[in-house]
Amino acid sequence: MRGNIRPIILFLIIMLCIFMGGGCEKAPVWRLEKAKKDLENALNAGSLRYSETRYREAENIMKAGWMEMARQNGKFAPFRDYRKADSLLALASETALKAVAETDSIIHYLDSLSRFELTQLKQELVEYNNSLNGSLVIRNAIKYWTFAQQATQIGEQLANKGEYEEARKEFAKARYHLGWLSSAIDEYVDDTASKIKVWRNWVKETLDETRAKNCYGLIVDKIAHKTYLIYAGNLVKTYDCDLGYNSSQQKLFAGDGATPEGRYYVTQVKRNGQSKYYKALLINYPNETDRRRFAHNKAKGIISSKAGIGKLIEVHGEGGRHEDWTEGCVAVTNRAMDEIVEKVGVGAPVTIVRRSDLWP
Whether residue 118 sits in one domain with residue 256: no
Tell me, what's the pLDDT at 3? 53
Determine, yes or no, domain membership for 58: yes
Whether residue 279 sits in one domain with residue 176: no
Whether residue 95 sits in one domain with residue 237: no
CATH number for the domain that contains residue 77: 1.20.140
Give start and end residues of each alpha helix (H) in the chain.
Answer: 2-19, 29-45, 47-50, 52-73, 83-133, 141-160, 164-213, 288-299, 334-341
Whether residue 207 sits in one domain with residue 337: yes
Whether residue 78 sits in one domain with residue 42: yes
Tell me, what's the pLDDT at 99? 96
CA 18 to chain CA mean position, Å: 73
Tell me, what's the pLDDT at 272? 79
The partner residues of 235 in beta bridges, in order of sequence, read 230
Whether residue 118 sits in one domain with residue 21: no
Query: What residues make up the domain containing 280?
Result: 197-353
What is this structure's pTM? 0.64
CATH number for the domain that contains residue 210: 2.40.440.10
Tell me, what's the pLDDT at 59? 96
Whether residue 227 sits in one domain with residue 120: no
Whether residue 122 sits in one domain with residue 90: no
Determine, yes or no, domain membership for 160: yes
Tell me, what's the pLDDT at 21? 47
Tell me, what's the pLDDT at 22? 46
CA 211 to chain CA mean position, Å: 50
Distance of alpha carbon 51 from alpha carbon 9, whole angstroms = 54
What single string gives the DSSP state of each residue in 136-176? Answer: ---TTHHHHHHHHHHHHHHHHHHHHTT-HHHHHHHHHHHHH
Last-in-domain residue among 167, 190, 213: 190
Determine, yes or no, domain membership for 270: yes
Cβ 92 vs Cβ 51: under 8 Å:
no
Determine, yes or no, domain membership for 248: yes
Tell me, what's the pLDDT at 9? 59
Whether residue 181 sits in one domain with residue 205: no
Last-in-domain residue among 190, 218, 246: 190
Cβ 50 vs Cβ 101: under 8 Å:
no
pLDDT along the chain (360 residues), means of 10: 58 53 72 96 94 96 96 91 95 96 95 94 90 68 90 96 93 95 85 87 95 96 94 96 90 92 96 88 96 92 88 95 94 97 96 81
Cβ 222 vs Cβ 229: under 8 Å:
no
Whether residue 245 sits in one domain with residue 102: no
Tell me, what's the pLDDT at 67? 96
Cβ 258 vs Cβ 246: under 8 Å:
yes
The partner residues of 226 in beta bridges, in order of sequence, read 221, 240
Determine, yes or no, domain membership for 360: no
Determine, yes or no, domain membership for 359: no
Last-in-domain residue among 165, 190, 215: 190
How many domains does one find in the chain?
3
Whether residue 345 sits in one domain with residue 201: yes
Determine, yes or no, domain membership for 41: yes
Whether residue 175 sits in one domain with residue 257: no
